[in-house]
Amino acid sequence: MGSQFVARAVEAKSRDGERLVLAAVVFAVMFSQLLLYPGIATLVDTLGADAAQSPFAETALDASMWFLVAEFAAYVAFVGVWGVLSDVTGRRTPFIVAGALLGAGSYLTLAVVPAVGSIPFEGVLLVRVVQGAMTVGAFSLTITMLMDLGGGHGRNMGAAGIAIGLGAALGAPVGGQLTELHPLTPLFVASGLLVCVGALVTLVEDRAPGRRRTARALLEGVRRRPALSLPYAFGFVDRMTAGFFALVGTFYFQETFGIGAGATGLLLACFFGPFALLQYPMGTLSDRIGRTAPIVVGSLCYGLGILAVAAAPSVATAAVAMVVIGVLGALVSPATMALVTDLAAETERGLAMAGFNLAGSLGFLGGFLLGGTVAAQFSYDLAFLVVGGLEIAIAVVAAPIFLRLSIATDALEPNDGETRQP
């Protein structure tokens, strides 16, 4: 009895260490991505965005939007490929290393574009596509390794969430400061961080189920779990709001309050700070009370909070509203990711999480395109209303579905084990 207790304690401690390393990898990938956002308008101008030479650069907002869209279009196109490759081969680590190193090379290529000479902005966007295709592999499969880890789905996804949130919270203000040093500095830093990611992930045991499966069997297995569409739908809308703030929010704050890149990064951090720091405790909470209340109630209040940001009359009140929606986002995010783990079979986790990240990437694209288009063609107020309204709408529509499914969690067996079905 005593030896079993010691063995379990040692195993739990080992999991804690691996959880920390994997969270650090997720953090580094997200941090490198967010470095570019506060100074996006200056960056695309430095990379050659010229209205006279490219239809993608008619305005600074257009060029910035397409620069972000190029990355997330690649996310959409390739995240499923990485998930299938990982599940079919029963390996995660080699694919994460490859994605990280090739992503680092793509960031470095973008950084040297001005030194090479005249490159059409379309060429810049093509490199951005390659960078996105590689980076999403490292990002999605590292989260999948957290799914494989055991010890409580909410806890593991809370670790992923706090890493994502901290990466965004710190990446935005640091990126703003780096941009003020030089517009290309964030690209060099992002490249170096992804090299570190490739080295760091090799320190963790690859716990992917070793059994190989055909791609057809894998896709069929996921198809038989239609309940996965529920966390995918929430992931889509939640990431759409993040994409909206990353692009439209940046321009809105700068134009409405007359602030620069540095102050904009700090204002964005008012959201990402609490969003990051509360992910782990909120994820653990969802292991105890279930996923329904955090996801449904949290999303409803989150949508109302977005509307409050648009109504804020000053930088100070906007900052307070951003803090509030950061707390609400922390309530929703880990519970939604944990729900994917609850529903997916262990041999299909790579593809299941890829599906979630695919939905999230489409959400980011929707935030960029829908938010950017509505803001440019109509007004910022209408853009906020549309995005906040969609967040409220999905919570209202999904509430009876959650109650009908009565989805169970792994709260009673935190040492991991069986995948529960609705």
Over residues 171-181, the pLDDT tens digits come to 878 998 999 89
Which residues span the domain enclosing 48?
2-405
Q: Chain-wide mean pLDDT for the chain?
A: 82
Domain membership of residue 142 (yes or no) is: yes
**What CATH number is associated with residue 282?**
1.20.1250.20
* 213-221 average pLDDT score: 55
* 172-201 average pLDDT score: 92
Confidence of residue 12 (pLDDT cuts 50, 70, 90): low
The pTM is what? 0.74
Residue 87 one-letter amino acid: D
pLDDT for position 241: 85
Task: Report the share of the chain in percent with pLDDT over 70.
Answer: 87
Domain membership of residue 203 (yes or no) is: yes
Residue 27 pLDDT > 60:
yes
Domain membership of residue 155 (yes or no) is: yes
pLDDT for position 323: 92
Confidence of residue 412 (pLDDT cuts 50, 70, 90): very low
Residue 107 pLDDT > 70:
yes
* 270-277 average pLDDT score: 81
Least confident of 179-183, 208-212, 307-311: 208-212
Domain membership of residue 422 (yes or no) is: no
Give how many domains the chain has, as a whole number. Answer: 1
pLDDT for position 229: 80
- Residue 260 gets which letter from DSSP? -
C-alpha span between 186 and 116 (Å, rounded)? 18
Q: Is the model more confident about 195 or about 352?
A: 195
Can you list the pairs that 155-158 forms with residues at least 24 positions away whose Cβ atoms lie under 8 Å? 155/19, 155/280, 155/283, 155/284, 155/287, 155/414, 156/19, 156/283, 156/338, 156/341, 157/283, 157/334, 157/335, 157/337, 157/338, 157/341, 158/279, 158/280, 158/281, 158/282, 158/283, 158/284, 158/334, 158/338
Over residues 70-96, the pLDDT tens digits come to 997 888 889 888 988 888 888 899 999
Burial status of residue 356 (CB atoms within 10 A of its CB: 0-12, 13-18, 19 or more): buried
Over residues 290-302, the pLDDT tens digits come to 787 888 888 899 9
Confidence of residue 103 (pLDDT cuts 50, 70, 90): very high
pLDDT for position 369: 81
Give alpha helix (H) positions in 90-203: 93-111, 113-116, 121-149, 153-181, 185-200
- Give the alpha-carbon dihedral of 43, 48, 53, 54, to 10 degrees: -40
C-alpha span between 399 and 234 (Å, rounded)? 12
Confidence of residue 364 (pLDDT cuts 50, 70, 90): confident
C-alpha span between 294 and 98 (Å, rounded)? 36
Number of H helices, E strands in the chain: 18, 0
* 244-255 average pLDDT score: 84
Domain membership of residue 419 (yes or no) is: no
Domain membership of residue 412 (yes or no) is: no
Domain membership of residue 21 (yes or no) is: yes
Domain membership of residue 370 (yes or no) is: yes
C-alpha span between 401 and 164 (Å, rounded)? 28
Least confident of 5-9, 203-207, 320-324: 5-9
Q: Is the model more confident about 36 or about 250?
A: 36
Q: Is the model more confident about 32 or about 238?
A: 32
Q: Is the model more confident about 152 or about 407?
A: 152
